[in-house]
Amino acid sequence: MTEPKKKPKKPQPGRTATGQFAKGNQAAKGNPYTKKAAEMRKALYQAITPDDVREIVETLKAQAKAGDLKAIAILFDRVLGTAQAGIDLLERLEQLETALDAVEQAAESETNRRKGIGFNA
Protein backbone atom coordinates (compact mmCIF):
# COMPACT_ATOMS: atom_id res chain seq x y z
CA MET A 1 0.00 0.00 0.00
CA THR A 2 1.40 3.36 -0.92
CA GLU A 3 0.66 6.50 0.96
CA PRO A 4 -0.79 9.40 -0.94
CA LYS A 5 1.75 12.09 -1.69
CA LYS A 6 1.48 15.09 0.55
CA LYS A 7 1.11 18.40 -1.13
CA PRO A 8 3.88 20.81 -0.20
CA LYS A 9 2.53 23.43 2.14
CA LYS A 10 2.38 26.95 0.89
CA PRO A 11 4.25 29.28 3.21
CA GLN A 12 2.03 31.46 5.34
CA PRO A 13 2.10 35.15 4.64
CA GLY A 14 5.18 36.71 6.20
CA ARG A 15 6.99 33.36 6.42
CA THR A 16 9.64 31.65 4.31
CA ALA A 17 9.17 28.18 2.82
CA THR A 18 10.85 26.73 5.94
CA GLY A 19 8.46 28.56 8.26
CA GLN A 20 10.86 31.23 9.46
CA PHE A 21 9.88 34.88 9.58
CA ALA A 22 10.43 36.50 6.22
CA LYS A 23 12.30 39.75 5.85
CA GLY A 24 10.02 42.66 6.67
CA ASN A 25 7.61 40.62 8.82
CA GLN A 26 6.47 42.84 11.70
CA ALA A 27 6.47 39.94 14.17
CA ALA A 28 10.15 39.27 13.46
CA LYS A 29 11.17 42.50 15.16
CA GLY A 30 10.96 40.89 18.61
CA ASN A 31 10.27 42.57 21.90
CA PRO A 32 10.26 46.35 21.48
CA TYR A 33 11.37 46.86 25.08
CA THR A 34 14.48 44.66 24.91
CA LYS A 35 16.72 47.43 23.61
CA LYS A 36 15.46 49.87 26.25
CA ALA A 37 15.94 47.32 29.03
CA ALA A 38 19.47 46.60 27.80
CA GLU A 39 20.27 50.33 27.83
CA MET A 40 18.97 50.67 31.41
CA ARG A 41 20.90 47.60 32.54
CA LYS A 42 24.07 49.00 31.00
CA ALA A 43 23.54 52.37 32.72
CA LEU A 44 23.00 50.59 36.06
CA TYR A 45 26.19 48.56 35.66
CA GLN A 46 28.11 51.70 34.80
CA ALA A 47 26.71 53.65 37.77
CA ILE A 48 27.38 51.07 40.50
CA THR A 49 30.89 50.10 41.55
CA PRO A 50 31.96 46.98 43.45
CA ASP A 51 32.44 49.22 46.52
CA ASP A 52 28.82 50.41 46.18
CA VAL A 53 27.66 46.81 46.13
CA ARG A 54 29.70 46.02 49.26
CA GLU A 55 28.18 49.02 51.08
CA ILE A 56 24.66 48.00 50.06
CA VAL A 57 25.25 44.43 51.22
CA GLU A 58 26.65 45.69 54.55
CA THR A 59 23.54 47.88 55.01
CA LEU A 60 21.27 44.95 54.18
CA LYS A 61 23.22 42.72 56.57
CA ALA A 62 22.97 45.31 59.37
CA GLN A 63 19.22 45.63 58.83
CA ALA A 64 18.85 41.84 58.90
CA LYS A 65 20.88 41.60 62.12
CA ALA A 66 18.64 44.28 63.63
CA GLY A 67 15.64 42.03 63.03
CA ASP A 68 14.19 43.52 59.84
CA LEU A 69 12.30 40.50 58.47
CA LYS A 70 12.22 41.83 54.91
CA ALA A 71 16.01 42.35 54.97
CA ILE A 72 16.45 38.84 56.38
CA ALA A 73 14.27 37.38 53.62
CA ILE A 74 16.12 39.27 50.87
CA LEU A 75 19.53 38.36 52.26
CA PHE A 76 18.67 34.68 52.67
CA ASP A 77 17.00 34.51 49.24
CA ARG A 78 20.13 35.93 47.61
CA VAL A 79 22.62 33.86 49.58
CA LEU A 80 20.72 30.57 50.01
CA GLY A 81 18.30 30.76 47.10
CA THR A 82 14.56 31.25 47.18
CA ALA A 83 12.80 28.79 49.46
CA GLN A 84 10.55 26.35 47.67
CA ALA A 85 6.93 26.72 48.68
CA GLY A 86 5.28 23.84 50.47
CA ILE A 87 8.42 21.97 51.50
CA ASP A 88 8.91 21.37 55.19
CA LEU A 89 12.65 21.33 55.82
CA LEU A 90 12.43 18.79 58.64
CA GLU A 91 10.34 16.49 56.47
CA ARG A 92 12.84 16.84 53.63
CA LEU A 93 15.74 16.14 56.01
CA GLU A 94 13.99 12.98 57.21
CA GLN A 95 13.47 11.88 53.60
CA LEU A 96 17.15 12.39 52.85
CA GLU A 97 18.22 10.53 56.00
CA THR A 98 15.94 7.61 55.08
CA ALA A 99 17.40 7.52 51.58
CA LEU A 100 20.94 7.63 53.00
CA ASP A 101 20.14 4.76 55.39
CA ALA A 102 18.84 2.69 52.47
CA VAL A 103 22.00 3.36 50.45
CA GLU A 104 24.22 2.49 53.43
CA GLN A 105 22.28 -0.75 54.03
CA ALA A 106 22.55 -1.71 50.37
CA ALA A 107 26.29 -1.02 50.41
CA GLU A 108 26.71 -3.08 53.60
CA SER A 109 24.68 -5.95 52.11
CA GLU A 110 26.81 -5.89 48.98
CA THR A 111 30.01 -5.87 51.05
CA ASN A 112 28.76 -8.82 53.11
CA ARG A 113 27.69 -10.67 49.98
CA ARG A 114 31.12 -10.26 48.46
CA LYS A 115 32.76 -11.50 51.67
CA GLY A 116 30.45 -14.52 51.72
CA ILE A 117 28.66 -13.50 54.91
CA GLY A 118 24.98 -14.35 55.02
CA PHE A 119 25.15 -16.98 52.29
CA ASN A 120 23.52 -20.32 52.90
CA ALA A 121 25.63 -22.62 50.79
- The 10s digit of each residue's pLDDT in 60-92 is 999 999 999 999 999 999 988 877 666 677 787
Q: What is the pLDDT of residue 40?
A: 95
Q: What is the pLDDT of residue 19?
A: 79
My answer on whether 43 and 54 are in the same domain is yes
* CA 26 – CA 32 distance, rounded (Å): 11
pLDDT of 23 above 70: yes
| Top-confidence residue, 23 or 56 | 56
In a domain, 61, yes or no: yes
pLDDT of 119 above 70: no
Count of domains for the chain: 2
In a domain, 109, yes or no: yes
My answer on whether 104 and 72 are in the same domain is no
pTM for the full predicted model: 0.44
My answer on whether 76 and 102 are in the same domain is no
Q: Are 55 and 63 in contact (CB under 8 A)?
A: no
Q: What is the pLDDT of residue 3?
A: 64
The range of the structural domain enclosing residue 68 comes to 31-83
My answer on whether 99 and 114 are in the same domain is yes
My answer on whether 61 and 94 are in the same domain is no
Percent of the chain with pLDDT over 70: 81
My answer on whether 72 and 98 are in the same domain is no
Q: What is the pLDDT of residue 117?
A: 64
My answer on whether 79 and 89 are in the same domain is no
Q: Are 22 and 14 in contact (CB under 8 A)?
A: yes
97 Cβ partners below 8 Å, 6+ apart?
none
Residue 82 half-sphere exposure toward CB, CA atoms < 13 A: 3
- In the DSSP assignment, the letter for residue 19 is S
Mean pLDDT (whole number) for 23-42: 83
